[in-house]
Chain A
Amino acid sequence: MSAITVDLRRNRLMLSYLIVAVLLVVLAVAGGLLSDRFLTWRNIGNLFQQLIVLGMVSLGQTFVVLMGGIDLAIGSLVGALTVFLANFLEWRPDLVWLALPLALVAATAVGALNGLLTVVLRVHPLIVTLGMSSIIFGATLMYRKEPGGSVPRAFADIAYAKVGGIPFSAVVLVVIFALAGLWLQRTRTGRSIYFVGGDREAARLNGLPVDRIVVLAYALSGLCAGIAAIFLTARTGVGDPRIGAALTLQSVTPVVVGGTILAGGRGGVLGTFLGVLLVTMLNSLLNFVNVSSYYQWVIQGLIIIIAVGIHTTRRR
């Protein structure tokens, strides 16, 4: 890989970031013009409080997509974990310290299992993760059909708490994204995710432990789903098997909007972060201007298609 190509690719990515950033500014200005309450600190704080769940699942999806896969089990996994957390915490509210690590370990294990299955069975990840999604969803429903459970007030506060006026969850999100970005850029393992996504065979020939990297990417996606589930459970105070249903597709939107190529190997977490901001701000703005949420669906669909279209066309 020559230095020039690297440079071009970097520029292309920068251009993606720039487009999303410009869209963000346009949205913010439009919001400010359409409603005098949109650009208040209160609403900005409110927007940032809403970022964490979509942010975490999108980050997980970014790892997998960069590595050249796709994770469609995210939504069911988040739903199952909220059921686990809410029921566990209803049973023993004092064992928060145990429940959270357990949830994260279970989430990571499910993710790793997804990775293992794609590696061992050589089945397309679309099928593996879709099947896993169905298994998790069914199993969760066997345990609990209706939303239920409860969480102690102190735990619920992590979703609503503010540190110096800034939502705690937003701080967590920014720190995790920064760490993820550094890890992907600066470490050998992080960079090898790009290699595997760019050209799996070449990566294998170069002696990279491809299978392990695949499993790692899915495991990270699981871990991210675990963190998302913790905040979602805190936010809603219950476990609901269906609550993650919309998250799977939603997790893909910020990834592609942020310039990560679905084929893998190119992109980054900064783009995803901007994409998460964009989607969240857009939904909020549409609420502010009293637009039916059916339009929100249509607009999100359009954004995905246009974003992918733009990135694909520019690559030619």
Chain B
Amino acid sequence: MSIKSILDHKISRKSFIRGMPAVAAAMAAAPAIQLAQTSAAVASEPETKPGYYGAPRTWMWNPNANTMVDTTKWKKAGPYTIGFSNASISNAWRVAFQHGVLWSAGQHRDEIAHLLVTDANDDPSKQIADIQDLISQGVDILLIAASTEDALDSVVGRATEQGIPVVMVDRKVKTPANYITYVTASDWALGRLEAQWLCETLGGKGNIVMLPGIAGSSVAEIRIKANEEVFSKFPDIKVLEKQYCDWNPATGKSVMAALIQKHGKAINGVLADSALQGYGAIEAFLDAGYKDGEFPPMTGGDVARMYQLANQHNIKMVGIDYPTSMGITGIETALDVLKGISVPDKVEVSFQVVTSPGADTISVKGDRHLLDHVSMSDPGDLSPSNGLPAGYNPSTFNPDYPK
């Protein structure tokens, strides 16, 4: 992306090449160029925290060719009407995710005339009707978080056939030909990073327990496979147990309590793929009488409470959130498509690698420390990787967006 293209298309905040360092450098080096609009956008950037804001790492570091989708055939003049069909807002993650979509649309008022939002309450049948309603309303593009991969496949394909571009976000449908691109985060990278960190922290030797999410869900199973790729490189790392915890704090706590009963201090490390069961596990250690400094190193991510507990009890951890900020990226990707800017066939947003102080390993270095990521006063179920302005509180946040 050149300065020219920035001037042509007011740079979308973290658009696919999210706040590309080269752009920032070029802007700093060329103060004569008055980028009033752009600097206004930068000024409203909430993210002054330490961290990684570059292009998606899986895209940059992909040792193979990235598949870029030419979107010139979808290019049209704005302002646009965007239809957003959400699967539901039935948990804290989904609420923060939707807030990201709405807020991002509000940041792009000059390009977006209307953002029409529907919520399917996790009912695929309703979501099909929702999508048809959005099409009837003449949307220029659809941004869809599918409630199920299969049941929405057909209606999404028919939208594309009718000439309406579709960008999937968070959850896709089965057939890639039915949509342009899919905004997500890499569960493979997440699983490898967490396992690599844990193995290196233990010096390549020790007993660990795995606390994955929901059995059979693709997210949980991919993360497990990625973990196992890493374990296969460390012959002295022994997996004592693998018990699914349904991404549920109560289950995480009771499973961990049973494992502590069974193995006691033989547990040298805990690999939880999310803080949802991760903070439950910390509570189990607390109940079992573990003192600060005695906790085994742990992994997690997604909600503030685990980071807060880890800080409070001096637990070595690495946390990687499945970022709700992909809602923001979703709107930006949709705008790119309508402006005819190429997009990769899969947009994997970067996550922040969060470590407790001194917990960096040779391969896994934190982008930020615990207290850069959350504050002790944040609500426990806050999703920290929301990309929203500082002080974001899901229960009071009411973004203004073009309705």
A contact set with B: CB distance below 8 Å: 35, 37, 40, 42-43, 46, 49-50, 53, 145-150, 156, 160, 232, 235-238, 240, 243, 245-246, 283-284, 287-288, 290, 292-294, 297
Contact B403 A53 (CB under 8 A): no
Q: Which residues of B contact A232 (CB under 8 A)?
A: 125
CA distance A9 to B160 in the complex (A): 51
Contact A236 B129 (CB under 8 A): no
Contact A236 B138 (CB under 8 A): no
Contact B116 A46 (CB under 8 A): no
Contact A288 B133 (CB under 8 A): yes
Q: Which residues of A contact B119 (CB under 8 A)?
A: 292-294
Q: How many A-B residue pairs have CB under 8 A?
A: 86
One of B120, B134, B137 near A293 (C-beta < 8 A):
B120
Q: List 11 A-B contacts (CB under 8 A).
A: A35-B137, A43-B136, A50-B129, A147-B149, A148-B150, A235-B154, A236-B125, A236-B128, A237-B150, A240-B150, A290-B116
Contact A284 B148 (CB under 8 A): no
CA distance A50 to B126 in the complex (A): 10
Contact B116 A237 (CB under 8 A): no
CA distance A232 to B135 in the complex (A): 19
B292 contacts the other chain (CB 8 A): no
Contact B148 A287 (CB under 8 A): no
Q: Which residues of A contact B158 (CB under 8 A)?
A: 160
Contact B121 A293 (CB under 8 A): yes
One of A49, A50, A245, A287 near B134 (C-beta < 8 A):
A287
Contact B132 A50 (CB under 8 A): yes
Chain A: CB-nearest residue to B158: A160
Contact A145 B136 (CB under 8 A): no
Q: Which residues of A contact B123 (CB under 8 A)?
A: 243, 245-246
Q: Which residues of A contact B132 (CB under 8 A)?
A: 46, 49-50
Q: A145-B216, A246-B123, A284-B129 given as contacts; is B136 within 8 A of A240 (CB)?
A: no
Most chain B CB within 10 A, of A145, A246, A290, is at A290
CA distance A297 to B122 in the complex (A): 13
Q: Which residues of A contact B151 (CB under 8 A)?
A: 147, 236-238, 240, 243
CB distance from B24 to the nearest CB of A (A): 36
Contact B124 A46 (CB under 8 A): no
Most chain A CB within 10 A, of B121, B151, B155, is at B151
Chain A: CB-nearest residue to B89: A292
Q: Which residues of A contact B153 (CB under 8 A)?
A: 237-238
Chain B: CB-nearest residue to A245: B123
B360 contacts the other chain (CB 8 A): no
B130 contacts the other chain (CB 8 A): yes
CA distance A243 to B128 in the complex (A): 12
Chain A: CB-nearest residue to B137: A37
CA distance A243 to B153 in the complex (A): 15
Residues 111 to 169 of chain B near chain A (Cβ within 8 Å) = 116-121, 123-126, 128-130, 132-138, 148-155, 158
Chain A: CB-nearest residue to B83: A287
Contact A236 B124 (CB under 8 A): yes
Contact A236 B150 (CB under 8 A): yes
One of A46, A53, A246 near B136 (C-beta < 8 A):
A46
Q: A37-B137, A287-B134 given as contacts; is B216 within 8 A of A146 (CB)?
A: yes
CB distance from A143 to the nearest CB of B (A): 15
CA distance A236 to B403 in the complex (A): 29
CA distance A232 to B126 in the complex (A): 11
CB distance from A152 to the nearest CB of B (A): 11
CA distance A147 to B124 in the complex (A): 11
Chain B: CB-nearest residue to A289: B403
CA distance A160 to B158 in the complex (A): 9
Q: Which residues of B contact A288 (CB under 8 A)?
A: 133, 137
Q: A37-B137, A46-B136, A150-B150 are in contact. List 11 more A-B contacts (CB 8 A).
A: A43-B136, A53-B125, A146-B216, A147-B148, A236-B151, A236-B152, A284-B133, A290-B117, A293-B120, A293-B121, A293-B126
Q: Mark B93-121, 1 if CB is under 8 A from A, else 0.
A: 00000000000000000000000111111
One of B135, B148, B149, B154 near A156 (C-beta < 8 A):
B154
Q: Which residues of A contact B154 (CB under 8 A)?
A: 156, 235-237
Q: Which residues of A contact B135 (CB under 8 A)?
A: 46
